[in-house]
Homo-oligomer: A and B are copies of this chain.
Amino acid sequence: MERKEFRDLATPEEARAAIDSLSLEGGLERVSLENARGRVLAARLDAELDVPGFDRASLDGYALRARDTFGADEADPARLAVVGEVHAGEEPDVALEEGQAVEISTGAVMPDGADAMVPVERTDIDGEGDDVLVRTSVAPGDNVMFAGADVAAGERALGPGTQITPRDIGLLSALGIDEIPVRAPPKVGIVSTGDELVRPGEDLHSDRGEIYDVNSYTIAAGVEDAGGEAVLYPHAGDEQDEMERILREAAEECDLVLSSGSTSASAVDVIYRVIEEQGELLLHGVSVKPGKPMLVGRLQDSAYVGLPGYPVSAMMVFRTFVAPAIREAAGVPEPRAATVTGAMAREERYAEGRTRLMPVGLIEDSNGETLVYPVDKGSGATTSLAEADGVVEVGPETDYLEEGESVTVRLFSPDVRPPTLLGVGEDDPTLNGLLDGLENPRYLSVGTRPGLRRLREGVPDVAVAAGPLDRTVDAEELGRWSREWGLVTQAGNPKEVEDLADLVERDLRFVNRTSDSGLRSSLEAALSDLATDRDASARDLREAIDGFDLGLRAHESPARKVIAGEADVALGLRETADRLDLGFVPVGEQSVRVLANPDRTGKESVRELAAALEGEFGTESDE
């Protein structure tokens, strides 16, 4: 068996056409009215009865003959004999003659002989109670809803393809319909492959390179967002027979099979073989980034799409090519108003000759203009999507986007609410609590230095900086607090670490933070002081520390290395040590400052953050 040759990558249009050529339809099913909301009607429904089914009083009052009220008014009422009453839900037991009236409730059946009614407010009961005085004149039909006036038998009630709203449910209820034929959602089987994948909730062994399976649940949620029914298959390892068995089982049970993560050569071989034997491969590789390694074909009677393994690539290919086809098969229209126009917050270069699907975040400047910034942490990073609001499609002929250039962003869904506040900088537990009190903030904990750099570039609203501050930052300080930092040890400090000097002098395995972090800056400053005291070079002290160069990104990561027994001492906060029940040797205090972009101090969310800071720590914007 030889692999088919797909020498050239397909264009995005060819990929769409290949998927459109597949049939994903899920067939029909019947659902009860209670479960009809959001479903798509499979056939036209005509009214089988008149609504209302009888001539109906619209108000409480008196049914009568309109001609008996001719000329009546406040001053000269018509006197009619009350010959009975009809309530809602009752069959009238009287018929009206000339000069007579029947008391009637809202919604009740108009008695024979009556052709109009008058509301009780325009009448008086005569002293004896047997007569009513009508103080207005009415025309035939007044205050009566005739049979079929709402819906008439034989009328087209709802057309095929209608997505059922609460209002349609009202109409169906009125027609007495308690079950409707709807399109069954296309059944989409999801097969993630790779020996390194572990299902969330299970134990993870990072030492042997295990990672949690991201694609299965993410793609399943995407399938459901698009109106499909997701079926998760057991996670297939790279073992060939097992993978083949799962693919065949999925193809038998589903309208579409999606695989992802088959990056190893042996996995690709299995998929090729199964498709060649039991179906047809239509397309291999598409000229988009991320997402190049995409397969489209047929597997038995099912459609098949192979998604790339990296989560971002998988989701981008899914959203761009697969979700529209699922929507089409489900009969769920593409959401309206899911695009936003904004200005590029900074220049973006790109020249690879294929269409780029660029995840972007959105933030409003102080004039309410939408700024668009690329979010790219690599296609292996799940946060590339979680920190983005939508996608800008950049054509293969575009080499770069200028700062300020207008771009169209397709939001991930029409309900996406871009963040009200964009913050960047140091990771800090106190900050996390402050953010909880704000409406929909986004915070990127990139560290103090990169945070300040981004603030200078003008994209974020605020930056959070810890430790010694670079004085050249042009920003307005909104508030600050201080935090205690030092050395985190095993619980109870079994190695009896006493101070920073121990790190230099003793044989302790240390874990540092990266030089992006304010904690690292404070550590380096303390080491310089120690060097001065000892008349030594700071560089020598640093080199004497085992693990000084092992810098981790987040404030808790070093402490977790201590828990794992991979280090004796970690750089960290007292707050972290307390939370994780570890020992702590204090070394110093550092300020954490919240610095606002000077152009954004008028923004409501920035003012709210300033107020929250003032409420928590008081004002102390002088240093």
Contacts and interface: CB of A to CB of B under 8 A. Distances in A.
Interface in A52-81: 52-54, 56, 58, 60
Given A108-B209, A173-B213, A417-B333, A153 B196 contact: no
Q: Which of A91, A176, A414 has the most CB of B within 10 A?
A: A176
A194 B107 contact: yes
A37 B225 contact: yes
Interface of A: 33-34, 36-37, 44, 46-47, 49-54, 56, 58, 60, 86-91, 105-109, 145-156, 158-161, 163, 165-179, 194-202, 204-222, 224-225, 232, 263-264, 309, 311, 315, 333, 335-337, 377-378, 380-383, 385-386, 388, 412-417, 427, 429, 432, 435-436, 439-441, 443, 445, 552-557, 560, 576
Contacts of A218: 166-167, 169-170, 173
Closest 7 CB pairs of A and B: A152-B554, A154-B556, A53-B206, A178-B201, A89-B196, A89-B195, A166-B221
A102 to B, nearest CB: 13
Copies in the complex: 2
Contacts of A217: 33-34, 169-170, 172-173
Contacts of A264: 87-88, 105
5 contacts: A87-B264, A147-B557, A166-B219, A173-B382, A414-B414
Given A105-B264, A152-B445, A178 B159 contact: no
A298 to B, nearest CB: 26
A176 B212 contact: yes
A64 to B, nearest CB: 18
Given A146-B553, A386-B170, A33 B208 contact: no
Given A91-B208, A148-B554, A382 B171 contact: yes
Contacts of A197: 89
Contacts of A108: 196, 209
Contacts of A219: 166
A148 B435 contact: no
A52 B427 contact: no
Contacts of A88: 194-196, 209, 263-264
A473 to B, nearest CB: 23
Contacts of A440: 159, 161
A200 B176 contact: yes
B209 A109 contact: yes
A183 to B, nearest CB: 15
A315 B557 CA distance: 53
A315 B174 CA distance: 14
A557 B91 contact: no
Contacts of A553: 50, 146, 148-149, 152
A213 to B, nearest CB: 6
Given A87-B195, A167-B385, A177-B201, 11 more contacts: A33-B217, A88-B263, A89-B210, A91-B205, A149-B553, A152-B552, A163-B415, A166-B412, A171-B382, A336-B417, A337-B337
